């Protein structure tokens, strides 16, 4: 799942990346990529892959480092290969809405836009493939099959966003937290991390900002769930004891 990254230098500046020769070898990397089948790249055959990875650059981020920020010129799209990222929007006065958490296999980049409409930064050490928009656009334009795949990803993303609107607009704090735990567990399962203990790499503040609540309400609600024997709070996550109940709260 760590996408076989074996580069040695940890900190790359934007500048360094730009000046690297196209000849720098990372051939064979994509074919060994653990998340390929989960990502948009799953639609590419061996031939296309070779060309695709030629326009990619690896990016590595320590926790809290930014992949990109809202308002910047959107010069790249990204494909997460390892770690967890938080995607969020800020209001001028600092209020924050986390619009999603990105996991390995997730594609970040709404393409017709000139600037990033949200910010993304690492929660856990992140690795990602970075593609210059021009090269990326040129690449997909001659591959309808790939375009179709990207379309599917965008549609799924939109469906999740609509689901989240329902949650933000019409659910109680209790339902929000339960729905978050159930949904997050499903996403972890989807990438192969299916354990009884649900790992929560993001902070309480991140969860609160994702659910439109305060950190205190999230904390209190989790504590109450624990008192009610629905789960156990453990370091770095929760262990769900009564999934059916959680799913019922999250229902619809």
Partner DNA sequence: CGAGCACTTGATCGGGTTCAAGACCGGTGG
Partner DNA sequence: CCACCGGTCTTGAACCCGATCAAGTGCTCG
Nearest to residue 58, comparing CAs of 67, 71, 45? 67
For residues 88 to 127, the per-residue mask of contacts with a copy of itself, x marking binding by CB under 8 A and - elsewhere, is -xxxx--xxx-x----------xxxx---xx---------
Report whether 109 contacts 74 (CB < 8 A): yes
Q: Of 127, 119, 138, whose CA–CA distance to 54 is shortest?
A: 138
Q: Which two tokens stand for residue 201?
A: 């790499």
Verify binding: residue 186, a copy of itself, rule CB under 8 A: no
Q: Which residue of 108, 213, 230, 250 would you call a contact of DNA, by CB under 7 A? A: 213
Smallest gap from Cβ 215 to DNA, in A, equals 5
For position 219 contacting DNA by CB under 7 A, the verdict is yes
Dmax (CA) for the chain in angstroms is 59
Q: Which residue bears the tokens 């499903």?
A: 186
Nearest to 89 by CA among 199, 177, 201, 210: 210
- Only one residue has tokens 């949650």, namely 167
Site mask, DNA, residues 228-247, x = CB under 7 A? -----x-x------------
Q: Which of 212, 241, 243, 245 binds DNA (CB under 7 A)?
A: 212
The strand pair at 57-61 and 66-68 is best described as unpaired
Residue 203 binding partner per list a copy of itself, DNA, none, with a CB distance cut-off of 5 to 8 Å that depends on partner kind:
DNA
Choose from DNA, a copy of itself, none: what does 158 bind? Cβ within 5-8 Å by kind: a copy of itself
Q: Which of residues 161-180 bind DNA (CB under 7 A)?
A: 172-174
The yes or no reply on residue 244 touching a copy of itself (CB under 8 A) is no
Q: How many residues bind DNA (CB under 7 A)?
A: 19
Cβ burial of 212 (10 Å; 0-12, 13-18, 19+) is middle
The token duo for 111 is 């393409």
Binding status of residue 197 toward DNA by CB under 7 A: no
Binding site for DNA (CB under 7 A): 172-174, 203-205, 212-220, 222-223, 233, 235
């Amino acid at each position: 799942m760590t996408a076989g990254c074996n580069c040695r230098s940890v900190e790359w500046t934007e500048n360094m990346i730009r000046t690297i020769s196209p000849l720098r070898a990372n051939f064979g990397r994509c074919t060994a990529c653990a998340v390929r089948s989960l990502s948009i790249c799953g639609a590419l055959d061996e031939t296309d892959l070779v060309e695709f990875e030629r326009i990619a650059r690896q990016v590595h981020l320590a926790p809290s480092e930014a992949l990109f920020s809202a308002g910047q010129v959107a010069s790249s799209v990204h494909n997460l290969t390892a770690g967890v990222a938080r995607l969020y929007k800020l209001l001028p006065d600092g209020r924050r809405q986390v619009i999603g958490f990105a996991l390995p296999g997730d594609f970040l980049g709404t393409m017709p836009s000139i600037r990033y409409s949200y910010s993304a930064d690492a929660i856990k050490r992140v690795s990602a493939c970075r593609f210059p928009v021009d090269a990326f656009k040129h690449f997909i334009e001659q591959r309808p099959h790939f375009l179709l795949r990207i379309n599917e990803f965008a549609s799924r993303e939109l469906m999740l966003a609509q689901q989240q609107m329902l949650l933000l607009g019409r659910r109680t704090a209790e339902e929000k937290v339960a729905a978050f735990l159930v949904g997050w567990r499903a996403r972890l399962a989807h990438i192969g991390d299916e354990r009884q203990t649900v790992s929560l790499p993001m902070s309480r503040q991140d969860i609160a900002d994702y659910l439109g609540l305060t950190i205190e309400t999230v904390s209190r609600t989790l504590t109450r769930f624990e008192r009610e024997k629905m789960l156990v709070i453990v370091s770095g996550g929760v262990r769900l004891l009564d999934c059916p109940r959680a799913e019922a709260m999250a229902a619809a």
